[in-house]
Chains A and B, each alone.
Chain A
Amino acid sequence: MILRTTLLAGVALACLATTGTAQTLRWGAARDINSLDPYSYGSTFTISFLNHVYEGLVRYDADLKIEPALATEWEVMPNNIWRFKLRQGVKFHDGAEFTADDVVASLARVSHPDSPLKGNLPAYKSATKVDDYTVDIELVGTYPLLLNDLTNIHMFDAGWLKEHNAEVPTDVAKKVEGYPTFNANGTGPFIVESRVPDSKTILVANTGWWDAPKHNLERIEFTPISSEATRVAALLSGEIDFTEKAPVQDLPRLAAAPNVKVMEGNELRTIMFGFNFQDKLHNGEPNLFKDKKMREAVGLAIDLNLIRDKVMRGKSRVTGTVVAPAIPGYDPALDTPPAYDPEKAAAMIKELGAEGYAFEIMCSNDLWVNEEEICNALVSMLTRVGLAPRLNIAPNAVQQVKLTNGEADMFAFGWANEPMLDSYSILLQTFQTKSENAGVFNWGGWSYPEMDKLIIAASTELDREKRLALQSAALKIVKDESIMLPFHQQPMAWATSDKVESVVQLSDNKGRHWLTRMAE
């Protein structure tokens, strides 16, 4: 149920406030957020939206450098303990004071065994209150990236969680709704006024925010519009002020419209394709992709430049490695895509006896930029060199289950290294052999012990240069073995109406409307 009091208050406000005033930002998003509970779903988009409402101990600044937020300073103590000093005088939206108890309760909640987000805090062991404004966080071992992880671990009010019986993450199986799924109480720059899932979520500015606001917004009206055409129509007719996903094929049209501004850039997210490494394909046939030669042949058959020029309208950046240049650990020496050579690919496939080899390519139709078209193009390119791929395409929520079960023969994959912004993220979560906390996204089931050694060594290496060298060495194995075929860094394209004066767009492709200014 929606919070009734808020809803009624919202009605009163809706009657008074005329929409479309200069201080209301109408955000037309490509998709809805999954929940108001940042711990309920490991979705980058949901978490980035909830960053308007909830905050972490630290945050990224406009250069993606870590800066203090709810913690003011920190130091590393012996025995893998980090001590955080908390900001004083911070109030939650319901007026409660932010203290060490809240940090302990929030960390306990996010690291609970049922929490889908526990992988975002891999080295966490426990947290203890030292005094009202000091917290000690104990880690399982030496770990260099705790601060990066903490940027997206949002702080709840301990009393509020307790009052609403939400101290553990929401458990669907109990057949009860989680209170935080529909209600929010953070410390952030905006307060949730009302939410109707799939329809509208309204935020109002938090006048009691601890930080000096740089924005001049009073309200944010967030509306998911999943159809690309409708979203473009809404922008052109001035019904929305902002979208974080303007379709690339409509950018010329949008840019030409007098009342629309387009903001483009390259995202940190790299799109790639991975393979199944099990003995059999999902259809029970022997799996030829275990052979490195086969994976290389597939790589040679793909014309990456053509995909960039046609499908991505020249807006993507073709890449030879699985991380973007801005990600620490990136090595320019690895960034050379294989030369497109369909004849050689066809010859190799013939040699491997893989002519007419039938397999399934698994893609989503709602995740990456023009993913459906990339996958269609891939099917026709691979068909032309003698393979017989079949496309399996559905919404990500449906595909996710199959991917995690290892049912895909070849699959589309995208990784932005968020929120860590370090290549350790993809190495740990995707390329390391599947085990307790590692290889959560190792959907192909590959295992390279020599690479695992490098990754594990990096996880405890406190010297940044040495650590990045280890990670680059691991990334070289990824490339040499063609475990995944990197395609491109996808473009990000935002569009705003002429009512918006300025929006801060960083390469992590997240809306930060606490920095947005509307024309007065």
Chain B
Amino acid sequence: MTVNLTSPGLLTRIRQSDLWWSFTHQRSAVLAAILLTVLIVSAFTAPLYAPQNPYDPAQLELWNAEIPPIWLEGGQWPYLLGTDTQGRDILSAILYGSRISILIGIASVVLALIIGIGTGLVAGYYGGIVEDALMRVGDILLSIPTILIAILVSAIVRELLPPSLRDVGAGGVLVLAIVLSGWVQYARTVRAQTAVERRKEYVQAAQLLKVPARRIMFRHILPNTLTPILVAATLNFGMAILTEATLSFLGIGMPPSQPSLGTLIRLGNQFLFSGMWWIVLFPVMQLCLLVVSVNLLGDWLRDALNPKLR
């Protein structure tokens, strides 16, 4: 899909669209969009203002461990939300952790989209053996529960990586683990739609005019399959963040040296009963806010794009 941002009337077109109407008339969707924007922007600009870089071990000072949030007795500037047992500033850790979670979420959705759309188009357009082979691979991947694939892949790939690459590669391994079963859904949707579109007259006309297959697929067929894909991608973004958090919580995701939200929850969980509730509560809240806002948006998008529910 190519969107020409400079074309005149784009804003007006958006404003007059059904989608925009539905968006502005659903408070939860607006709220979710604002919240999500704030979360993403704050996470990615964190290095500019966060009191600490939680990935730099030299900045962690054991002296400053276990400081409570600033509004409690013993709270200290600049540790607004307190510190953990290593002297890591919770606010900074959450912001940097969100950044990792969001990056992994985006990377895995984008990669899954690329693979899924590509596979789906090829399978749907050419049909026959190509279709059978590609879709069978998808069937097999869907025959194993997603979480199991993710755990196995991340555990095994990490084991196979040389030790020096394990921390650096942890994020990549997680993306791979999530993508491996994530692309199938897109591929199936696109294939089904492509198979239908292929038989339509406009495609046959294009074929007669000897328009290259690639061009037909991307310029003509793809745009017509995008609606369900968009909804699925939004919801899967939330799922990817959850899967990443779950793997990190189980101890096979991001390492403690570059904690994601799941890692922070895993580490903080040990201090649930020792009175240091802030170590685990704030990462939990951040994770929930993030996923809730994504899911609210996705939910609204699904309803808004579903002609039956209008």
Q: Which residues of A contact B (CB under 8 A)?
A: 227-229, 232-233, 236, 247, 249-250, 252-253, 282-283, 303, 306-307, 310-311, 360, 365, 372-373, 376-377, 379-381, 383-384, 389-393
Contact = CB atoms under 8 A, between A and B. Distances in A.
Given A229-B269, A310-B65, A377-B86, A390 B164 contact: yes
Interface string B193-228: 000000000000000000000000000000000000
Contacts of A379: 57, 257
A354 to B, nearest CB: 15
A380 B63 CA distance: 12
Given A310-B62, A376-B60, A391-B256, 6 more contacts: A249-B271, A252-B275, A377-B62, A377-B86, A390-B167, A393-B255
8 contacts: A233-B273, A249-B271, A250-B273, A252-B275, A253-B275, A376-B57, A381-B62, A384-B58
B278 to A, nearest CB: 14
B245 to A, nearest CB: 17
Contacts of A380: 57-62, 86-87
Nearest to A377: B62
B85 interface: yes
Nearest to B164: A283
Contacts of A373: 85-86
Interface string B238-276: 000000000000010001110000000000011111111
B66 interface: yes
B307 interface: no
B9 interface: no
B163 interface: yes
Contacts of B61: 380
Nearest to A365: B251
B58 A393 contact: no
Contact of B62 (A232, A303, A360): A303
Q: In the complex, which of the residues B56, B57, B166, B167 has the most CB atoms of chain A within 10 Å of its own CB atom?
A: B57
B271 A383 contact: no
B272 A310 contact: no
Contacts of A377: 62, 86
B156 to A, nearest CB: 13
A253 B274 contact: yes
Contacts of A283: 163-164
Contacts of B272: 229, 232
Contacts of A249: 85, 270-271, 274, 276
A381 B65 CA distance: 14
Contacts, number: 77
A415 to B, nearest CB: 25
B152 to A, nearest CB: 16
Contacts of B62: 303, 306-307, 310-311, 377, 380-381
A232 B273 contact: yes
A229 B256 contact: no
A255 to B, nearest CB: 12
A376 B271 contact: no
Contact of A250 (B164, B167, B274): B274
A389 B56 CA distance: 11
Nearest to B267: A372
B250 to A, nearest CB: 12
A306 B256 contact: no
Nearest to B60: A380
A383 B58 contact: yes
A282 B163 CA distance: 9
Nearest to A372: B256
A376 B86 contact: yes
A383 B86 CA distance: 14
A229 B58 contact: no
Given A380-B58, A391-B256, A252 B274 contact: yes
Interface in B55-112: 56-63, 65-66, 85-87
Nearest to B56: A383
Interface in B151-175: 163-164, 166-167
Interface string B268-288: 011111111000000000000
Contacts of A236: 273
B164 A228 contact: no
A391 B257 contact: yes
Nearest to A386: B58
Contacts of A229: 269-270, 272-273
A263 B272 CA distance: 21
A328 to B, nearest CB: 34
Contacts of A383: 56-58
Contacts of B275: 252-253
A365 B252 CA distance: 13
Nearest to B280: A229
A167 B98 CA distance: 57
A253 B270 CA distance: 13
A170 to B, nearest CB: 26
Contacts of A381: 62
B184 to A, nearest CB: 32
A390 B163 CA distance: 10
A249 B273 CA distance: 9
Contacts of A392: 163, 166
A384 B56 CA distance: 10
Nearest to B59: A380
A236 B86 CA distance: 26
A391 B259 CA distance: 13
Contacts of B269: 227, 229
Contacts of B59: 380
A283 B166 CA distance: 13
B169 to A, nearest CB: 13
Contacts of A365: 251
A377 B85 CA distance: 9
B7 to A, nearest CB: 51
A250 B256 CA distance: 21
A227 B275 CA distance: 17
Contacts of B274: 247, 249-250, 252-253
Contacts of B251: 365
Contacts of B58: 380, 383-384
A360 B271 CA distance: 27
A388 to B, nearest CB: 9
Q: Which 6 A-B pairs have the closest CB atoms?
A: A380-B57, A383-B57, A380-B60, A383-B58, A249-B274, A232-B273
Nearest to A236: B273
Contact of B256 (A232, A233, A376): A376
Nearest to A256: B275
B167 to A, nearest CB: 7
B286 to A, nearest CB: 20
A236 B256 CA distance: 29
A270 B249 CA distance: 31
Contacts of A252: 274-275
B85 A310 contact: yes
Interface in B5-43: none
A301 to B, nearest CB: 12
B97 to A, nearest CB: 16
A383 B167 CA distance: 17
Contacts of A303: 62
Contacts of B164: 283, 360, 390
A311 B270 contact: no
Q: In the complex, which of the residues B66, B87, B256 has the most CB atoms of chain A within 10 Å of its own CB atom?
A: B256
